[in-house]
Structure 1
Amino acid sequence: MKLLEGGRTGQIWRDGDSVIRPSGAWTPTVHRFLRHLRNRGFRGAPEPIAISAEGQEVVGYVAGRVCEDLSDPLVGSERMLISAARLLREFHSASEGFLESDGEIKAWMLPPQEPREIVCHADFVPYNVATVDHEAVGIIDFDTAHPAPRLWDLAYAVYRWAPLSDPANPAVAFDLDEQVRRAESSAPPMGRRSKNGAGFRI
């Protein structure tokens, strides 16, 4: 087995095509949700495999390079930004119907937010997205997934992918004008009108 770096250091391992990681009270719900995504044809999320008696979850490995640093030309490119926005929209479309169709008691790490339109990932950030050939192809770490409006994910994704930060910070990859431009570029492929008819706005 190989210890995976990042996240909960020392607690996440890869064993071939599987990932072994700690589970929580919410894990059974998350696994049912991941199965729902696969049944809807979405392959950009881990395949749920098992929850062990030792309190570990086993999921399929999502191949690709994780985005760590947006100053890297590969992960900070326009192509990557737009593909990440589209991936999020595809995920949201696939998540539809789970809250209505799943009849079991649901436990979530985070409290649901109203209106409960879909199940949001709630941590769609560069280090939770797998990339291949300048494209975002997969999403990992669904621990924080919970019912919420789409805007819950959209706003946080724009904040982290633009990213919206103080340009005076030397660690920030883009100046203010570029941050605004990236936010505006990502909004259309991410957005979708909510049930109350309100559009997504930056």
Structure 2
Amino acid sequence: MGLRERKKAETRAALSWAAIRLTVERGFDRVRVEDIAEAAGVSPRTFNNYFASKGEAIAARHLDRLVRIAAELRRRPPAEPLWEALSQAVLAQWVPGPEVVEHPVTDQAEWAAGLRIMLAEPVLQGEVLRAGAVAEAELAAAVAERTGTDLARDLYPHLVAAAVLAASSTATAHFLRTDPPVPVNRLLTEAFALVAAGLPAPS
């Protein structure tokens, strides 16, 4: 990635994180595009160059994280078992970026409560579903490449991609419902171990 592309990616990430942070703090209807742009240190016009709406800006973080799973899977060692590679590819996306380090979450319980409210917004739910569909297609292609299956004919890569996204979303949803919150990395690791084992019944 060249310098120009990296700067654009950083601006996009900063805008998305600002949109999420402000929405969690204030509520979806109390955040304006101007507020998001100011928090990210850019102009409203720059915001509009990246996103068409607040909802799209919020969902962008989810979309970018999911799409990066496919890219990371392609980088994993070819001999690594598939579900281990997938688990590591997912966990790699939860390393905080510079925008999070600059504006860290200080109260995990309060943050989780705000996220629950934010994610209940119908407009945002539609954006999240669209992001998931895009990411699932990308991940299915990466799985097909890794397993030597045919994306057009075989069910397997699509089923694996859907299972990965389901495990990821279930783990993050469980993070939001636990009190006190359980670290999301621990939940993701457990979710992938259970899926890889065939979801055995609890002992």
Common fold: TM-score over 0.5? no
Structure with larger Rg: 2
| TM-score band, normalised by shorter chain | under 0.3
Q: Which structure shows the bigger proportion of residues in strand conformation?
A: 1
